[in-house]
Amino acid sequence: MENVKEQEKPMNSKGATIFKKMLDDQKAVRQHLRNGGKLTDLKDKYKFLDPLSIYIA
Amino acid sequence: MTPYPFTSLSDLSFEFTTDQGVVYKAYFISFGSVFSEFPEFSDSIYNFNLEVFHGDMYDQAMDQKIGETVVDIFRHFFAIRQNVIIYICDTSDNKHIVRKRKFDLWFWKYSDGSILKDDGLAVIEDTEIFNSLLVHKQNIFLDKIVSAFRTLNERAADK
C-alpha cells in the first residue's frame, strides 16, 4: 500500500488577497508617478481622497 | 522642530518639499470595497502611501522633519474622526522591516495620543506583510473596525 502524504498548503492570512491588491496598487501608482504621471490621471481607476475635502467638511 | 508645510493640496495628494529639495507626495486610496460588509464605516477606510516624486529618497534618511510632516498629514486626515488608515509596508525591495521601524518611530515620537495604532502581520505564501491600522480613539465604530482589521491578519488554511 502506497503512502500518500498530503501536500502541505501554506497558511495564508484571511486578508491575503486584499493586502496583495493594496501592494499591487501601490506599485502601479508609484510607477505612474516615476514616469511623470499625475494622480489625477488615475482617478478613474482608484478612488483617491481629495485633501481639499477635509477642509470643506 | 516644525513639519514641512504642504506646498500643494492639488493632484489628490499632500505634497511637501524637504530642505534638500526632495518632493514627496502623500496620498490616500479608498479601500471601502474591502469592508463592504460594514457599510457603517467602509467608506472611511483609506490606504496611506508616501512616495518620492522628485529627488533621491536615500539622501533623506536622517531628516526627522519628514516623519513629523507625515504625522501632521495624519492630524489633518483625522480632523474627520471617522476616517481610518491602513498602512502597508511595501515588500517589493525587501526593505519592509526598515519601513515598519521608521513608521513605528514616527508614530510614537510625534503622535498626540488621539490615534489608536494596531499592528498586524499578514502572510501570503512565504511573504510577511507588516501592516497597521490607525483609527481615532473617538471613532464611534472603534471596536468593530479593530475587530475587522484583526480578522484580515488571522491565518486560514488556503483553499
Residue ranges in B11-120 assigned as alpha helix (H): 64-77, 96-110
Residue B102: per-residue pLDDT: 85
Q: What is the C-alpha separation between B89 and B104, in angstroms, rounded?
A: 11
Flag whether pLDDT at B60 surpasses 50.
yes
Residue B94: per-residue pLDDT: 72
Residue A53: per-residue pLDDT: 84
How many CB contacts within 8 angstroms connect chain A with chain B? 118
Residues in chain A within 8 Å Cβ distance of B79: 54, 57
Q: Using the 8-state DSSP alphabet, how is residue B128 labeled? A: E
Grid coordinates given for B6: 504642504
Residue B61: count other Cβ atoms within 10 Å of its Cβ: 9
A57/B124 Cβ within 8 A? no
Interface membership of A57 toward B (CB under 8 Å)? yes
The neighbouring-strand residues paired with B64 are: none
**Coil, helix or strand for B64?**
helix
- Residue A51 contacts residue B9 (beta carbons within 8 Å): yes
pLDDT digits (tens, 9 = 90+) for A11-49: 788 888 888 888 899 999 999 998 989 999 999 999 999
B123/A16 Cβ within 8 A? yes
**Nearest CB to A39; choose among B11, B156, B157:** B11
Q: Is the pTM of this model over 0.90?
A: no
Grid coordinates given for B52: 518620492
Nearest to B110, CA basis, from B70, B77, B143, B142 = B70
Q: Are strands B45-54 and B84-88 parallel, antiparallel or unpaired?
A: parallel
Residue B17: per-residue pLDDT: 93
